A = this chain, B = another copy of it.
Amino acid sequence: MKKKAKHSKLSEYLKEKIEEFIATGLFTPGMKLDEIDLAQKFGVSRTPIREALIQLSSTGLVEMRPRRGAIVTPIDTKKLYEMFEVMAELEALCARLAARRITNKELEYLQKTHLECKVKEIIENPDLYYYKNEEFHIALYRASHNDFLIEQAINLHKRLSSFRRLQLRVRGRIESSLKEHEEIIEAIIKGDSELASKLAREHIIVQGERFSDLLASLNISQ
């Protein structure tokens, strides 16, 4: 496997790579991450692999059990729900702040990403939609003008990405997602921070039906 030169630290590069493999499902939850295996696979020594794993363990993507090796963090439904609950709140805060602080340029960009989500061929392809949708959300985060929040939101978003991806396969979810985006944008344009906040929260939170849909689409977890 080749390595990009732009990383001054191998461990940084490896972290991103492993992260990617987990996000795309190449490394599945519960899977053991053997240091020596990985080292050989990437053609490096154990040290940078270890450092990458340590970093990933503090974001929660992998779990390091003392003397028992690292595994991709298994997600039970309870924790998943909890994570969405927190994500909803972060998004709500982003939306609330965005409604007050967004610049014209940022608003334009937000609308642009939303419009791109609505293109027919994107709507019909969950994978494409996933990427466009991600752009929309990150644009929303940035409009909050709170760098710390942006960082946290992007982090958690990343961690939930594979599940969001699955969510989009639920029939009709993309359509309602689009509608919700539209309402959020409207609230932001009106400068109604409370409404924007409420809508963003509801857009993310997976309650009732939505949660069982998510679980059904998963049935990966125990």
Contact A86 B93 (CB under 8 A): yes
Q: Is the CB–CB distance between B82 and A146 below 8 Å?
A: yes
Task: Give complex CA distance A59, B58 in Å.
Answer: 7
A79 at the interface (CB under 8 A from B): yes
| CB neighbors of B among A16-65 (8 A) | 50-51, 54-55, 58-59
Main SS at interface, chain A: helix
Size of A's binding interface in residues, CB under 8 A: 27
Q: State the CA gap A146–B81 with chains docked (Å).
A: 9
Instruction: A86 to B8: give the CA distance in the assembly, Å.
Output: 31
Q: Does A66 interact with chain B (Cβ within 8 Å)?
A: yes
- B50, B85, B93, B97: the one contacting A149 at CB < 8 Å is B85
- The yes or no answer to A215 lying at the interface (CB within 8 A) is no
The reply to whether A148 and B82 contact each other, CB–CB distance below 8 Å, is: yes
A11's closest neighbor in chain B, by CB? B54
Within 8 A of B (CB), among A124-150: 146-149
Residues of B within 8 A of A83 (CB): 148
Q: Is A152 part of the binding interface, using a Cβ–Cβ cutoff of 8 Å?
A: yes
**Residues of chain B within 8 A of A82, CB atoms compared:** 146-149
A97 to B50, CA, bound (A): 37
Min distance, Cβ A205 to any Cβ of chain B, angstroms: 11
Q: Select one of B12, B79, B92 contacting A148, CB under 8 A.
A: B79
22 contacts between A and B (CB under 8 A): A8-B66, A9-B66, A12-B66, A50-B51, A51-B54, A54-B54, A55-B58, A78-B147, A79-B147, A82-B146, A82-B147, A82-B148, A82-B149, A85-B97, A85-B146, A86-B93, A86-B146, A86-B148, A86-B149, A86-B152, A89-B92, A89-B93
Q: Which residues of A are at the interface with B, using a C-beta cutoff of 8 A?
A: 8-9, 12, 50-51, 54-55, 58-59, 66-67, 78-79, 82-83, 85-86, 89-90, 92-93, 97, 146-149, 152
